[in-house]
Amino acid sequence: MEKSKTTHFGFETVAIEEKAGKVADVFHSVASNYDLMNDLMSFGIHRLWKCFAIRLCQLRPSQVVLDLAGGTGDLTAKISPIVGKQGRVYIADINKDMLSVGRSRLLDQGIVDNVEFVQADAEQLPFPENYFDRIIIGFGLRNVTNQKAALASMFHCLKPGGSLIVLEFSKPTSTAFQKIYDFYSFNLLPKIGKAIAKDEDSYRYLAESIRMHPDQDTLKSMMIEAGFENCDYHNLTQGVVALHRGYKY
């Protein structure tokens, strides 16, 4: 019998076919408190990171945009008024609970006319070739089992002349800051998760998943391998987060 191939789930080694389910369980658990926990964990700075990402998207009216791993819809809420009534935003997520929260919140804000909700796997996106003007994925790539397959799928769906923005946790540029960040991530973050979301394990996974994610230069190389050109990245908050950008020509 062929031995099952493995991957990482945080610091745990699991069979490849098990990871998606384990990640789904995490986000089923945290969906209702996701935005509140983001504010608490980042001291609100995640809002600035996302505003910077939207600015680098260089969005225009009438464009068709994919907000991948769009979760609770905070990026879609920023994109929708920019592309306008003639444009379209597809908010896609593999997790139905996250999509449900996003749908409710966007409806509450009156953002419905140019938004589509799609439950989809980033590794096999159900969209035609050359379909999107822009693709943005915010804090979702590290949870994908096969990140190379996901990047290839995004490249397939992106129009020539379009760009991909990847906003993701990365590797701090300062050794001293890395030590502070590690202490916060592994000692304080799970306790905040336990107190607010009643879920310590999911936020321990969050810290571990960040450490297992490719660093800035590795992710840039992966994007180039997938076919993206003129790839670059911007370190934010001393590299705690990096914004990667690549183009399809």
Tens digits of per-residue pLDDT, 90-111? Answer: 999 999 988 998 999 999 999 9
pLDDT in tens, 22-36: 776 767 666 667 777
- Pick from 35-44, 137-146, 236-245: least confident: 35-44
pLDDT value for 114: 97
Task: Confirm if 80 and 114 have CB atoms less than 8 A apart.
Answer: yes
pLDDT in tens, 129-182: 999 999 999 999 999 999 999 999 999 999 999 999 999 999 999 999 999 999
| The pLDDT of residue 185 is above 50 | yes
**Which DSSP string corresponds to 50-75?**
HHHHHHHHT--TT-EEEEET-TTSHH
Mean pLDDT of 226-236: 98
**In percent, how much of the chain has pLDDT > 90?**
70
The candidate with the shortest Cα–Cα distance to 56, out of 148, 166, 147, 189, is: 166
If pLDDT is split at 50, 70 and 90, which confidence band does 47 have?
A: very high
The candidate with the shortest Cα–Cα distance to 236, out of 51, 104, 87, 67, is: 51
Task: Name residue 90's beta-bridge partners.
Answer: 66, 116
Candidate CATH numbers 3.90.1300.10, 3.40.50.300, 3.40.50.150, 3.40.50.2300; the one for domain 20-173+205-247: 3.40.50.150
Beta strands in the chain (DSSP E): 6-9, 12-15, 64-68, 88-93, 115-119, 132-138, 158-169, 229-236, 241-247
pLDDT in tens, 51-86: 999 999 999 999 999 999 998 899 999 999 999 999
Mean pLDDT of all residues in the chain? 91
pLDDT value for 39: 80
Q: Please give the structure tokens belonging to residue 243.
A: 């914004």
The candidate with the shortest Cα–Cα distance to 71, out of 110, 104, 40, 109, is: 104
| The pLDDT of residue 50 is above 70 | yes
Structure-model confidence comparison of residues 12 and 232, the more confident one: 232
**In percent, how much of the chain has pLDDT > 70?**
94
pLDDT value for 4: 59
If pLDDT is split at 50, 70 and 90, which confidence band does 2 have?
A: very low
| The pLDDT of residue 207 is above 70 | yes
Domain segments of the chain: what residues?
Answer: 20-173+205-247
Q: What is the DSSP letter of 4?
A: P
pLDDT value for 100: 92
